[in-house]
A and B are shown apart, each in its own frame.
Chain A
Amino acid sequence: DTEVTQTPKHLVMGMTNKKSLKCEQHMGHRAMYWYKQKAKKPPELMFVYSYEKLSINESVPSRFSPECPNSSLLNLHLHALQPEDSALYLCASSQERTRMGNTIYFGEGSWLTVV
């Protein structure tokens, strides 16, 4: 069983809707990540939080807005999305974000469909 929990597992939203994806981990990890994965492609990094501060934004459009309320929670707020934003959104965490590397653990993902 994954120790990174994502909700909802499936989300269908219109292009004018506002919705949020949620992620929670209780492993005491201090680095949390959002990845986006399109069909038949590898995951692509979107955002990285380290000690609750945004440390990487991989040039993601502003219609995606991340939030880290505390060290266990990570949200991704969605607004005015386009159909091409439909994808699997994966949350992940690791002990720290360091050059030495740590095992990264993924949640089960949230399947997003924009109509």
Chain B
Amino acid sequence: GIQVEQSPPDLILQEGANSTLRCNFSDSVNNLQWFHQNPWGQLINLFYIPSGTKQNGRLSATTVATERYSLLYISSSQTTDSGVYFCAAQPYSGAGSYQLTFGKGTKLSVIP
């Protein structure tokens, strides 16, 4: 099945700083999503982005499907951005092609 790798595993930021999270995937994808899991466990959709670039407020994401990676940008970070960011991918074909496979996540801590 598809392999999804995220980096860095842990990130500590001062409030107001910018950051870039990376997701590499091993196969062509039909679906790629970024999620934020808050400390209470809820997984919140950030982006559905199998290709291209999207922006939502201080967050933006870019997926370069031909090179099999996606980036999540967080600008002017706030303490409420803390949590774990997951990338999840659905391969175009083969094993697991009907479901999302999650990476191990990036744990972000934003300190005041």
B-binding residues in A (CB < 8 A): 2, 33, 37, 41-45, 48, 55-56, 88, 90, 92, 97-109, 111
Q: How many Å lie between the Cα of A55 and that of B99 in the bound state?
A: 11
State whether B31 touches A101 (Cβ < 8 A). yes
Q: Which residues of A contact B43 (CB under 8 A)?
A: 43, 90, 92, 106, 109
Task: How many A-B residue pairs have C-beta atoms within 8 angstroms? Tell me.
Answer: 62
State whether A105 touches B86 (Cβ < 8 A). no
State whether A111 touches B33 (Cβ < 8 A). no
19 A-B contact pairs sorted by A residue (CB < 8 Å): A2-B42, A2-B44, A37-B41, A42-B86, A42-B103, A55-B98, A56-B99, A88-B41, A90-B43, A92-B43, A99-B30, A99-B92, A100-B30, A102-B31, A103-B33, A106-B35, A106-B45, A108-B42, A109-B42
Q: How many Å lie between the Cα of A102 and that of B40 in the bound state?
A: 25
B49 CB, nearest partner CB in chain A, Å: 10
Q: How many Å lie between the Cα of A64 and that of B82 in the bound state?
A: 33
State whether A111 touches B41 (Cβ < 8 A). yes
Which residues of chain B from 1 to 55 have any CB-CB distance to chain A below 8 Å in the complex? 29-31, 33, 35, 40-45, 48, 50
State whether A109 touches B30 (Cβ < 8 A). no
State whether B40 touches A108 (Cβ < 8 A). yes
Q: How many Å lie between the Cα of A106 and that of B90 in the bound state?
A: 16
B35 CB, nearest partner CB in chain A, Å: 7
B110 CB, nearest partner CB in chain A, Å: 19
A59 CB, nearest partner CB in chain B, Å: 14
Q: Which residues of B contact A97 (CB under 8 A)?
A: 98-99
Q: How many Å lie between the Cα of A16 and that of B8 in the bound state?
A: 42
Known contacts A42-B105, A99-B97; A108 and B50 CB within 8 A of each other: no
Determine if B68 is an interface residue (Cβ-Cβ < 8 Å): no
State whether A42 touches B42 (Cβ < 8 A). no
Known contacts A103-B45, A111-B41; A42 and B104 CB within 8 A of each other: yes
Known contacts A99-B98, A103-B48; A108 and B41 CB within 8 A of each other: yes
Q: How many Å lie between the Cα of A106 and that of B97 in the bound state?
A: 19
